[in-house]
């Protein structure tokens, strides 16, 4: 595993995440979120899961990020003045991070080296999607259809009764 | 002889790498990558310069004029003059622009356009970035263009920019669907997502004259036409250039860009056009295979670039012929016609496959496509009668 | 000495905590969605990391779960953003502190 690549991606990803969580302007936060998604996709490439990395870029950068930006534009008149920082959230987040860190560093069974690895081809993924995972695949298709219709109904213009 | 001529660029790269045989592994890797990148950029920047002057000349001929003919022989040095003009222009950034976003947008748009060129096989063993999920990579990176367009529109802080960006994103998102769905039958039939495997699946000839390209099957021909139209929209070319319709919204998302940044947008647009055409050649026109068996002695890359330039000529031809469409017409066309037809192509390809990929399958898939096409045209018939055009003259 | 797997887990837990921070401390509804997306991405990173460092069974379970979770996250984002738009139409605001009525 390439150590330099790991460190560079880690710095970029975490900086992007911090920017996404703390920047005052929504557009900037959404664009930083894109950096995080690309960074995570780079990690997937590093870990040998190229297909998932490509799907990640495709779905998150191509679809979710554009959706978020569109929503920001549609609700632009509402610029929330953030009064101070909500310290409760910061404390909870820090506590969760500390707890997770403590657990990770104290679990001995995690200290394993990466096993010998043969690259995962798209064909293998496709075959298992069509054999062992047919039912989850169909359910995901159903969920996506329902989400599509639901989102359309939610944002459909209501008839103005005056 | 023809074998070595075919592989001349591959051997040249091998020879350069063999000079570095004593150095560690990572040096070889990096040099190999750099060679690929510089070859890609060199070739496509040359094509870009050529096409920018050829487009104006061809358009001129179509409109009964000469086109640029002052700079150099036949006006061939026009791109040099244009480039110098672009470079020495003042770089204006609007005072109330979002500076960082405004600056990053042209970089992102150019980077994605160049990245998408990397996965296309330009000849036998000549794929710069051979990856198992190449087609997916193309679309994943290509979808980032929308983000860049949005950044350009938002960063400029200008009404025209924002309107142009919204139009561009709306039509790109709508046409990305038919674009991707029309590649699915090819991926299904070839059983692979890598461009090399797809080209390998189109090898061979019937009777020595009919190539086994996917465009020779009914579903392939239909998918190719749909893909080409979607490609026109994706690269914002006429008749689908509403995002930058000069007469309505100045230059759309590029309004506030000047000098080199504007040139970058221009370059990215043309590179996107090359990439989409290259992918169309790869998916439907047999990539670097020769059209008839006898002509196989001509090197593979020559065939690829011939096909590419034929497609580019059609792009220019369409630009010289068709007027600009309206935004709502574009959208209706995408959702009501393109998408159902694209799904039909998948079904037709499946029918073709299960009828044994022979004449029977050919006829059956033709029947499927014709039936759906006729049904759709019946359903979409608006019965709208246009009033007879009357002319009023000054008396 | 920490192993590579532990490093991946540390990065993903940092991402998770930042997502939690965004979801808990911001008032704008879209920031909360951004936080949730960050947490989901961190979880995906964990799936892939455990798959890579595990015994790699056939079929590749970790990869499959990650793919499905990306699909579900897309559906979640769609509905969430549609809700944001609907709420904005109704209240003319997306500040979650102001959305304190049950009656419409």
Reported as a single tens digit per residue, the pLDDT across C49-72 is: 888 887 776 678 888 888 899 999
- Reported for B60-69, long-range contacts at CB under 8 A and 24+ positions apart, including other chains, are B62/B317, B62/B320, B62/B321, B63/B320
Q: C24: domain range?
A: 4-95
Interface of A with B (CB under 8 A): 27-28, 31, 34, 50-51, 54-55, 57-58, 61-63, 65-66, 69-70, 73, 119, 121-123
List phi, psi (to 5°) of A77: -60, -20
Mean pLDDT on A133-156: 89
∠ Cα B23 B27 B31 (to 5°): 120
Q: What is the phi-psi region of residue B287: left when phi exceeds 0, alpha when psi lies from -120 to 50, beta otherwise?
A: left
Distance (Å, whole) CA B119 – CA A69: 29
List phi, psi (to 5°) of C87: -65, -40
* % of chain B residues with pLDDT over 70: 98
* % of chain A residues with pLDDT over 90: 10
Q: Do C37 and A64 touch (CB under 8 A)?
A: yes
**Is C43 near chain A, with CB under 8 Å?**
no
Helices (H), chain B: 2-6, 8-18, 25-62, 78-87, 99-117, 134-142, 144-156, 159-190, 195-200, 218-234, 246-249, 259-283, 300-321, 327-332, 339-354, 359-379
Residues B33, B59 contacting (CB under 8 angstroms)? no
Q: Which residues of C touch A86 (CB under 8 A)?
A: 24-27
List phi, psi (to 5°) of B15: -65, -45
Distance (Å, whole) CA C34 – CA A17: 10
Distance (Å, whole) CA C88 – CA B137: 36
Q: What does each C-alpha distance from B152 to A67, A98, C8, C22 come to in angstroms? A: 17, 40, 35, 27
Distance (Å, whole) CA C37 – CA A50: 21
What is the pLDDT confidence band of residue B1, given thresholds at 50, 70 and 90? low
For the cut 80, the answer to whether the pLDDT of residue A84 exceeds it is no
Reported as a single tens digit per residue, the pLDDT across A50-65 is: 888 888 888 888 888 8
Distance (Å, whole) CA B8 – CA B296: 16
Q: Do C31 and A29 touch (CB under 8 A)?
A: yes
**C89 within a domain of the structure (yes/no):** yes
ipTM of the complex: 0.84
DSSP calls for A39-108: HHHHHHHHTT-HHHHHHHIIIIIIIIHHHHHHHHHHTTT------S--HHHHHHHHHHHHHHHHHHHH-G
pLDDT (0 to 100) of residue B212:
82
**C22 within a domain of the structure (yes/no):** yes
**C71 within a domain of the structure (yes/no):** yes
**Is B30 near chain A, with CB under 8 Å?**
no
What is the pLDDT confidence band of residue A146, given thresholds at 50, 70 and 90? very high
What is the H or E stretch that residue B205 is in?
A: strand B205-206
Coil, strand or helix at C1: coil
Most confidently modeled range among A21-25, B20-24, C63-67: C63-67
Q: Inter-axis angle of helices B78-87 and B259-283, to 10 degrees?
A: 130
Q: Do A64 and C86 touch (CB under 8 A)?
A: no
Residue of A120, A122, A125 to mutate, interface with B, max B Cβ within 10 Å: A122
For the cut 70, the answer to whether the pLDDT of residue B246 exceeds it is no
Coil, strand or helix at B183: helix
**Quick one: closest CA in A to B176, which residue?**
A62
**Is B138 near chain A, with CB under 8 Å?**
no
**C103 within a domain of the structure (yes/no):** no
- Other beta carbons within 10 angstroms of residue B15's beta carbon come to 9
**C77 within a domain of the structure (yes/no):** yes
For the cut 70, the answer to whether the pLDDT of residue C102 exceeds it is no
pLDDT (0 to 100) of residue A139:
92
Q: What is the dihedral of CA B370, B371, B372, B377, to 10 degrees?
A: 80
Q: Which residues of A touch C72 (CB under 8 A)?
A: 140, 143
For the cut 80, the answer to whether the pLDDT of residue B366 exceeds it is yes
Establish whether the linkage from the previous residue to B239 is cis, with ω within 30° of 0.
yes
**C69 within a domain of the structure (yes/no):** yes
Structure tokens at B28: 């070889």
Measure in Å the smallest separation between the Cα of A27 and chain B Cα atoms. 9
The residues with which B210 forms a beta bridge, in sequence order, are: B206
* B20 Cβ contact list (under 8 Å, min separation 6): B27, B28, B31
Which chains does C contact via 3+ CB–CB distances below 8 A?
A: A
Q: Which of B133, B140, B143 is nearest residue A122 as measured by Cβ atoms?
A: B133
List phi, psi (to 5°) of C94: -120, 15
Reported as a single tens digit per residue, the pLDDT across B86-103 is: 888 888 888 887 888 888
For the cut 90, the answer to whether the pLDDT of residue B362 exceeds it is no
Q: Do C59 and A128 touch (CB under 8 A)?
A: yes
Mean pLDDT on B151-176: 84
Chains C and A touch (3+ CB pairs under 8 A): yes
For the cut 60, the answer to whether the pLDDT of residue C2 exceeds it is no
Measure in Å the smallest separation between the Cα of B189 and chain A Cα atoms. 13
More confident residue, B92 or B340: B340
pLDDT (0 to 100) of residue C1:
39
pLDDT (0 to 100) of residue B216:
84
The residue assigned the tokens 């017409």 is B329
What is the H or E stretch that residue A135 is in?
A: helix A134-155
pLDDT (0 to 100) of residue A142:
93
**How many residues does this entry show for chain C?**
104
Q: Inter-axis angle of helices B144-156 and B259-283, to 10 degrees?
A: 160
For the cut 90, the answer to whether the pLDDT of residue B332 exceeds it is no
pLDDT (0 to 100) of residue A143:
92
Chains B and C touch (3+ CB pairs under 8 A): no
**C39 within a domain of the structure (yes/no):** yes
Distance (Å, whole) CA B285 – CA B276: 13
Distance (Å, whole) CA C60 – CA B125: 31
Structure tokens at B239: 């008749």
Q: What does each C-alpha distance from A160 to A47, A71, A154, B307, C102 come to in angstroms? A: 53, 22, 15, 55, 22
Mean pLDDT on A147-162: 76
Which chains does A contact via 3+ CB–CB distances below 8 A?
A: B, C
Number of domains making up chain C: 1
**C53 within a domain of the structure (yes/no):** yes
First-residue to last-residue Cα distance in chain C: 57
Q: What does each C-alpha distance from B63 to B222, B319, B321 come to in angstroms? A: 31, 11, 9
Reported as a single tens digit per residue, the pLDDT across B8-19 is: 777 888 888 888
DSSP character at residue B285: S
Please report, for the domain that includes residue C86, its CATH number: 1.10.287.3510
């Amino acid at each position: 595993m390439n150590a330099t690549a790991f460190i560079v991606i880690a710095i970029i990803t975490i900086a992007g995440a911090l920017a996404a969580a703390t920047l005052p302007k929504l557009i900037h936060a959404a664009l930083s979120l894109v950096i995080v998604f690309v960074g995570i996709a780079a990690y997937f490439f590093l870990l040998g899961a190229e297909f998932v990395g490509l799907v990640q870029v495709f779905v998150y950068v191509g679809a979710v990020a554009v959706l978020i930006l569109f929503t920001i534009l549609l609700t632009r008149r509402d610029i929330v003045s953030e009064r101070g920082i909500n310290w409760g959230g910061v404390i909870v987040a820090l506590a969760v991070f500390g707890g997770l860190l403590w657990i990770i560093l104290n679990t001995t069974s995690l200290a394993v080296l990466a096993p010998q690895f043969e690259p995962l081809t798209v064909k293998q993924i496709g075959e298992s999607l069509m054999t062992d995972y047919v039912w989850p695949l169909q359910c995901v298709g159903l969920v996506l259809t329902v989400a599509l219709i639901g989102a359309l109904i939610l944002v459909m213009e209501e008839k103005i009764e005056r | 002889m023809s074998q070595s001529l075919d592989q001349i660029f591959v051997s040249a790269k091998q020879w350069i790498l063999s000079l570095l045989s004593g150095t560690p592994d990572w040096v070889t890797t990096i040099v190999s990558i750099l060679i690929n990148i510089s070859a890609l950029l060199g070739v496509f920047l040359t094509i870009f310069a050529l096409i920018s002057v050829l487009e104006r000349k061809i358009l001129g001929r179509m409109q009964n004029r000469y086109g640029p003919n002052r700079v150099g022989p036949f006006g061939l040095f026009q791109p040099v003059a244009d480039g110098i003009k672009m470079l020495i222009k003042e770089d204006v950034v609007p005072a109330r622009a979002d500076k960082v976003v405004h600056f990053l947008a042209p970089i992102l748009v150019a980077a994605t356009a160049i990245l998408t060129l990397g996965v296309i096989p330009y000849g036998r063993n000549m794929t710069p970035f051979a990856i198992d999920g190449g087609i997916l990579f193309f679309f994943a990176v290509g979808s980032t263009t929308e983000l860049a367009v949005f950044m350009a529109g938002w960063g400029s802080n200008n009404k025209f920019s924002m309107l142009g960006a919204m139009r561009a994103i709306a039509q790109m998102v709508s046409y990305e669907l038919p674009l991707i769905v029309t590649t699915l039958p090819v991926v299904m039939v070839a059983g692979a997502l890598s461009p090399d495997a797809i080209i390998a699946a189109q090898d061979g000839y019937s009777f020595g004259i009919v190539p086994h390209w996917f465009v020779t099957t009914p579903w392939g021909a239909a998918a190719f036409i749909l893909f080409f139209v979607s490609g026109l929209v994706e690269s914002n070319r006429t008749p689908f250039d509403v995002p930058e319709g000069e007469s309505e919204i100045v230059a759309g998302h590029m309004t506030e860009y000047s000098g080199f940044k504007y040139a970058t947008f221009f370059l990215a647009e043309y590179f996107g056009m090359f990439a989409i055409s290259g992918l169309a050649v790869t998916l439907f026109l047999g990539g670097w295979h020769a059209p008839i068996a006898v002509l196989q002695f001509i090197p593979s890359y020559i065939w690829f670039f011939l096909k590419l330039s034929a497609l580019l000529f059609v792009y220019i031809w369409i630009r010289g012929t068709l007027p600009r469409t309206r935004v709502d017409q574009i959208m209706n066309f995408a959702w009501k016609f393109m998408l159902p037809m694209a799904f039909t192509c998948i079904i037709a390809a499946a029918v073709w496959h299960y009828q044994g990929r022979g004449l029977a399958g050919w006829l059956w898939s033709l029947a499927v496509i014709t039936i759906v096409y006729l049904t759709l045209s019946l359903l979409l018939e608006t019965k709208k009668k246009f009033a007879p055009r009357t002319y009023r003259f000054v008396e | 000495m920490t192993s590579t797997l532990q490093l991946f887990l540390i990065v993903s837990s940092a991402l998770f905590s930042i997502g939690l921070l965004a979801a808990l401390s911001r008032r704008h509804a879209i920031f909360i969605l951004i936080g949730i997306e960050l947490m989901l991405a961190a979880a995906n990173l964990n799936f892939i990391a455990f798959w890579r460092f595990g015994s790699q069974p056939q079929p590749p379970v970790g990869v499959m779960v990650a793919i499905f979770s990306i699909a579900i996250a897309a559906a979640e984002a769609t509905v969430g953003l549609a809700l944001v738009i609907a709420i904005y139409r109704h209240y003319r605001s997306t500040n979650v502190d102001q959305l304190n009525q049950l009656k419409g």
